[in-house]
Every structure is written in C-alpha cells, then in structure tokens.
Chains A and B, each alone.
Chain A
C-alpha cells in the first residue's frame, strides 16, 4: 500500500464532484421509488397470505416463492432484456424506443417487485403474531373481515414489524447498486467510473462507502425514534431478518 498515491482533492474537482452528487441522488431516488411500489404491493400480498381464501393465498405464496428464489441480478436482466421481447410487439417497441428513462424505470420496477416479496413476508409474520383472539373479537363485535384487517390486524402488525421493515428498506437502498448492471449511473457506478478515469480507486470507493453508511445510520436512528413513539405497551417485535 506504500506505493499508492492518495489524491483526495480529485473528489471535489469537476466533473467528479458532480458525478458523485448525481449518482447519490439517483441512488436515493431509485430506493424511494422502488419502496413506493414495494410497500403497498408487499402489504397486499402479505395480507393475502393470511386470508381464508385459498386461491388468494396460493397466488400470494407463489409470488413470494418466485421473487425470492431468483437472484436479483437475473431478475434485472429479465426485466430489461427479456420482458420487452415477450410482450405484444407494440408494447415491446414502446418500451424499447419511446419509454422515458428506460434503464432507470426498469431498475425501479425490478427492485420494487422484488422488495415487495420481502415486505410481504414481514407483514404476514406481523399479522400471524397477533393472537387469534383479536381477530375473533373484531368479528364478534360485528366488524366485517375487511374492517378487522383495516382497524385491528394491520395497524398492530405494522407497528410490530418496524425493525424488519427498516432493514428491508435499507436492503432496497443497497440493492439499488444493481441498477449499474443495466447502465444506470447511480452512486456505485459513478465511483467505479471515477476510478476508471482517474485511477483514484480508494478515494472514490471511500466516498461512496461513507455516503452509504451515513444514509444507513440516519435511517436507523429515525426509525428507532418512530418505533419508540408507536410502540404498543407490552408488545414484542417480531419478523424475520
């Protein structure tokens, strides 16, 4: 390591500073947009796995099994290279020629659908951890099945799964780096690009590392506060990592 020439100032020089800033912005944007897909969709799928309707349960289980057992990178390639070929010709052409920000949007959809399968598992375990009596009590009070979910099960489940949901959000934040494989210039790929242009590999990787750690730390602190504020007295947290 003695022979390595450190060159920190290169990071604040243009265009490299601009690359880092725009890469960081894209990383955050991908994570937030993918989460905006994953959270509602995953919640719906997780809830579906706890319902009495067999077909619904089966479809939801199938979704989770498929998305969790194919490597995310392979999913990325499927969405980017294969899906446009399998769709009706007009749609495929639209995706390939006219869709704005094709790589970026593909990455968001891919990460969103994958993360939904993880969210679904947390929501399911959150609902299953609620004593059955609560569901029966709700029904006995004359609530419909939908109302039981809306007012009893889901609000309690969400509060108990805040820690695993946090780690899933951090998961999608980190996984956004896979977007570089289809050409999105997010944080990791900008760091890689700086390395290729300037040979300042360790400086570029260090700044990316610091940014990832900062966001992770910040999210954890904020979620701990939220968790403490919403905690149900006497309840324990559940959920798989």
Chain B
C-alpha cells in the first residue's frame, strides 16, 4: 500500500515547507508571549478587589472560551483592517486573534495557580510580618508558579497545534504550505502524513519534557 509513495517530493519542496514551518514557529512564539502577558494581566484583574473589574474580565474570559477559534480568527481577520482603516497583513490580524483567544485560557491557568496556594500560607506570611508585596514575592508566587508552569507549557503545546487553523484564512504556515504542494502535485498522502509526523514528534517530545518537569518540581 506504500508502493506509490514518493518521498522525493518532500526533498524537492524542502525549503518551501521550511518557510512554512518558520511562520508556524514565529506565530507560536509571538502568540505565546503576547497571550501570557495579557493573560497574567487578566488574571490579576480578575483576582482584584475591584468587583466590577473582576466581573468584566470574567465575562471576557467566558465569552472567548465559548467561541470556536476558527470563528475568532474570522472575526479578527475582518475586524482589524476595518478598525485600523487600512489593509493589514493577515499575519497581524491572526496574531491578535490568537493573543486575545489564548489569553483567556492562560488567565484561567494563572488564576487557578494563585488560588491553589493555601490560605494558611498567606496568613503565616502576614504573621511573620511580611508586607503584602513581600508575601506575594516570597510566599505565594514561588508556589503558584511551580503549580502553573507545567499547565502553561501544556497549553502552549496545544496552541502550537492550534496555529494550523490559520489555514482558513490562507496564511502560509507549515500545514498550508504542505497543502499547497499537495494540491499542486496531487500528492496529499505524502504531504499530510509528513505534517502529521512532524507535529507528532515535536508535540510528543515536548509533552514528555513537561511531564518530567512536573514530576521534578511538583510540591
């Protein structure tokens, strides 16, 4: 059944596919960074004592979490150029979509991480005479970060996989590049299997590393 397999097609298009992979990595790196920054801000606001602010953020997070990512991509792809008033590169529209979307998921992880620190720890820090900021810096954050880093990394692996959805607006990431070659040379079997294999190897190794990290630093 693999008789008609033509691996040479992968070699022949290696640089085209590599450029797609570069875009995938670039998008992932930027979206993870932006999503984390925005997500931490959201989490802090959500835990703040200013009630309306916390509700607003809760609404935002729940709203984005009930939408399919593809629809979010379509929204921003259409919305961003209209808001700015001139055509923008699809890359930036999609990047904004990913940052807004992933921030909702990251913020939930950060919030859970901070809430997971037991109340007694905070009370103990206060009893020792630490200020609020010191308690945060020396007691709460070190524990919270240990709890949430593995989950944040796992979410980032999911996010790497999710970037393949830019296919729907034709951005030339790894999958879309492979798709272009597949339909041009009528070789879907080789191309899609190659993409699947690359993602499988990358994501599987990454998630094994995360597991090891989790076991090593677990509290």
Binding site for B on A (CB under 8 A): 1, 4, 65-66, 68-75, 77-78, 81-82, 85-86, 170, 174-178, 180-181, 188, 191-192, 195, 201-202, 205, 208-209, 212-213, 216-217, 241
Q: Which residues of B are at the interface with A, using a C-beta cutoff of 8 A?
A: 1, 63, 65-71, 74-75, 78-79, 82-83, 108-109, 151, 161-162, 164-165, 167-168, 175, 179, 182, 188-189, 192-193, 195-196, 199-200, 203-204, 207
Within the complex, what minimum Cβ distance (angstroms) separates A115 from chain B?
14
Complex alpha-carbon distance, A85 and B192, angstroms: 12
Assuming the contacts A82-B188, A175-B68, A192-B74, asked whether A73 and B165 have C-beta atoms less than 8 A apart, the reply is: yes
* Chain A residues, Cβ within 8 Å of B151: 241
Given known pairs A1-B82, A181-B167, the reply for A66 and B188 (CB within 8 Å) is no
The contact of B74 among A191, A212, A241, by CB within 8 Å, is: A191
A205 and B78 in contact, given A71-B164, A77-B192, A78-B196 (Cβ under 8 angstroms): yes
What are 9 A-B pairs at a CB distance below 8 A? A70-B203, A73-B167, A74-B199, A85-B188, A86-B189, A174-B69, A201-B78, A202-B79, A212-B68
The listed residue with most A CB atoms (<10 A of its CB), out of B69, B70, B75, B79, is B70
Q: Which of B67, B175, B189, B192 contacts A212 (CB 8 A)?
A: B67
Write out the residue numbers on chain A whose beta carbons fall within 8 Å of the beta carbon of B200: 66, 69-70
Judging by beta carbons under 8 Å apart, are A4 and B82 in contact?
yes
Residues of B contacting A174 with CB < 8 Å?
Answer: 66-69
Instruction: Check A86/B71 contact, CB under 8 A, given A69-B200, A74-B164.
Output: no
Specify the chain B residue showing the minimal Cβ separation from A217.
B66
Let me know if A178 and B78 touch, CB within 8 A. Answer: no
Picked from B68, B108, B175, B189, the residue with its CB within 8 Å of the CB of A188 is B68
